[in-house]
Chains A and B, each alone.
Chain A
Amino acid sequence: MSEALTGSPVNPDAAVSVRGLRKVFGKFAAVDGIDFDVRRGEVFGFLGPNGSGKTTTIRMLTSSITPTSGTISVLGEDAVKHPDRAKLRLGYMSQKFSLFEDLTVDENLRFYGGVYDLTAEQFAERRAYVLRMAGLEGRESELTRNLSVGWRQRLALGTATLHSPEIVFLDEPTSGVDPTARRRFWDLLYDLASNGVTLFVTTHYMDEAANCSRLAFMYRGRIIADGPPREIRESLLTERILDVSTGDADRSLTWLESADGVHEAYLSGASVHAVVEAGLSPETLTARLVAAGFADARVVPVDPTLEDVFVNLVSQQRGA
């Protein structure tokens, strides 16, 4: 995990390798000393609540801002000393689907094709691929402003990968997109990954996090956990998660928050999830709930979801 990397040199074979990365705005440390490696071909999920430093980190990795301190290697190039070297080999897509809205589909593609200096043959081939992939064949001369969100998102991905980059950074690429379009978008990402492209994705959708081959949780400028999704879930083995349903979720939440042996309680759907010490059995808790006046209380153990893990990690940080 990240502690092992601290102080070690960057790994030039990794797709991304970061050591002691910091970015300070005024007195506020948006990114406060992080270390991680992203292996080539990995789908790396970068998670964290809004304002935790995810976007700032991505912007440093893509060399659009310079770090206050620390070293970054992207595709073996030093992104701080030689910000331009990796630029031709990486792609970037933000949550805004940054297309020129007052240009047509084709004009957007031609602009980026020119910026990346593609030859006429390369461009013709990539253009055809992107149009097919985004489902925009025959709509080349429409203004992108008039496309609906799902199409714009796919076109933005196509534009960001027009130059066949080896790594693509995606900053909340699916925010504001309906679940069907999100599903379709992830299929496209898997296609890219299966061609050996490394993906660095930030998201706050926990179901999407499960799609990643490795995850890092960022909170208040630091990485508080990283590893494959399964490993992260298992890191909670000293505790267990119980799903508590009563007639009155709000009142049971209040009671659970101050109950002995309960570390954490939070609403999850219509019921309450309680993180309890491993020794507290569902039967014991049910009995105590009934005694406290929750006559129809039902308690069942559940497998921790990534969301459970995340809430738990954040609450540990707050307590620390």
Chain B
Amino acid sequence: MSLKRIRLVMWKEFLQLRRDPLLLRAMFLMPILQLVFFGYVVAADVKNISIAVIDLDHSVASRQLEAEFASSDYFVITQHPATEAELQPLMDKGAVKAALVIPDGTSAALTRGEAAPIGVVVDGSESSSASIASGYAAQIVGEFNQRQIAASGMTIAAPGIDARIRVVFNPTLESINSMIPGLIAALLMISFGALMSQAVVKERESGTLEQMFVTPIKRNEYLIGKLTPYVVLAIAQVAVVAIIGMLWFKVPFYGSWWVVAVGLGLFLLTSVGLGLLISLVSHTRQQAQQTVMFLMIPQMVLSGFIFPVESMPAWIAPIANVIPLTHALVVLRGAFVKGSGFAALATPLWILAAFAVVIFGAAVVQMQRRLAE
């Protein structure tokens, strides 16, 4: 490997990128437009929100209330932690999106005709589903109260259960707070898909690739020199989106930049690898562009970027899991909104690492194979 030749390939790639009219649009103009556009989107209906029930009362009334939640379409009870302390890790991992806490003495208070406070805890990092979840919870508690009153023959004025809704992680439920971290990952995927997929096919079409491999330039020198400028641009783009998000849209950042860097780094490898694969497999630039479009739209829709995965039919969930963006979103939103660390985000990070190895590895193998024919 010769550093000099790698530098030469990088130099010519930077020159070409600078003159590429697609670059400014794809890398910097589109992100700013998307920021403004997605910054104000409010999401759709949510069903089957996974919820944890912490029943500290162990009474008929508490079981009735739990049954009300279980029978609604909105919630699926997936966990029964014994204490509130056990709830935090479940929320951090995203295993549950909401929790119902029925404190000891709820039944007794109801019998005495007093107001009985219960807790509804909602994960606000996905603000749209969170606001919907809290709305549903309030509604179910309201209906429960109505039924209790009817059964006991008490007056309307009877206080019943007082649902105290507490939203954790994103107390003001601003959709922008979870939208912008998501946008960082989504934009990286879109602009890289568009740029990378053109990269090699363009050189193959024009014959410059063939020309270079007759010279002393080696394939790995070409690959490194070719990809480095794109990685530099990716970092610049992430910085632009994050800075605008945090300064203009006042998105708070609670987590660790290391988590963001590792998550985005792995996701970048996946995106670059995918773009490169498309570029190697395609015969013309147009074909590459169409393949990108074909792959991007389902990823955007199914990853939970726009619509929460919870709002989709159950059979979609496995599909969402094989989309790298889904996991990148969990990492970025977790780090930005919840301040989650490596431990809490271990699963999505490992999944991203696996995607990076498989997809980028496949691209490198294809590179060696395709260019040998």
Contacts and interface: CB of A to CB of B under 8 A. Distances in A.
Please say whether chains A and B are actual partners in one complex: yes
Given A94-B210, A98-B206, A107 B12 contact: yes
Interface residues of A, number: 32
B216 A94 contact: no
Interface in A196-236: none
Interface of B: 4-5, 8, 11-12, 15-16, 19-20, 206-208, 210-218, 372-373
Nearest to B221: A115
A130 interface: no
Given A100-B16, A107-B15, A92 B214 contact: yes
Interface stretch (A38-46, A82-90, A286-294, A307-315): A82-90
A99 interface: yes
A96 B215 contact: no
A98 B211 contact: yes
Contacts of B20: 102
A84 to B, nearest CB: 6
Interface string A1-38: 00000000000000000000000010000000000000
A108 to B, nearest CB: 9
A267 interface: no
A64 B216 contact: no
B216 A103 contact: no
A59 B371 CA distance: 11
27 contacts: A62-B214, A63-B214, A65-B372, A84-B218, A87-B215, A88-B216, A90-B214, A94-B207, A95-B207, A96-B207, A98-B208, A100-B12, A100-B16, A100-B208, A101-B206, A103-B12, A107-B15, A111-B12, A114-B5, A115-B8, A115-B212, A115-B216, A115-B217, A116-B215, A116-B216, A117-B4, A160-B211
Contacts of B208: 98-100
A96 B212 CA distance: 13
Contacts of A90: 214
A151 interface: no
Contacts, number: 67
Contacts of A115: 5, 8, 212, 215-217
A190 interface: no
A25 B373 contact: yes
A266 interface: no
A64 to B, nearest CB: 5
A186 interface: no
A305 interface: no
A74 to B, nearest CB: 11
Given A100-B208, A101-B206, A103-B16, A114 B215 contact: no
B214 A87 contact: yes
A164 interface: no
Nearest to A84: B216
A90 B216 CA distance: 10
A103 B11 CA distance: 11
A88 B5 CA distance: 14
Contacts of A64: 210, 213-214
Nearest to B218: A84
A25 B372 CA distance: 11
A188 to B, nearest CB: 18
**Residue of B207, B210, B211 with most partner-chain A CB within 10 A:** B211
Given A66-B372, A84-B216, A100-B206, 16 more contacts: A64-B210, A64-B213, A64-B214, A94-B210, A94-B211, A98-B207, A99-B208, A102-B16, A103-B15, A103-B16, A112-B215, A114-B5, A114-B8, A115-B217, A117-B216, A143-B19
Nearest to A156: B211
7 cross-chain pairs, A with B, having the tightest CB-CB distances, nearest first = A96-B207, A98-B207, A98-B211, A92-B214, A114-B8, A62-B214, A64-B213
A169 B217 CA distance: 18
A111 B208 CA distance: 12
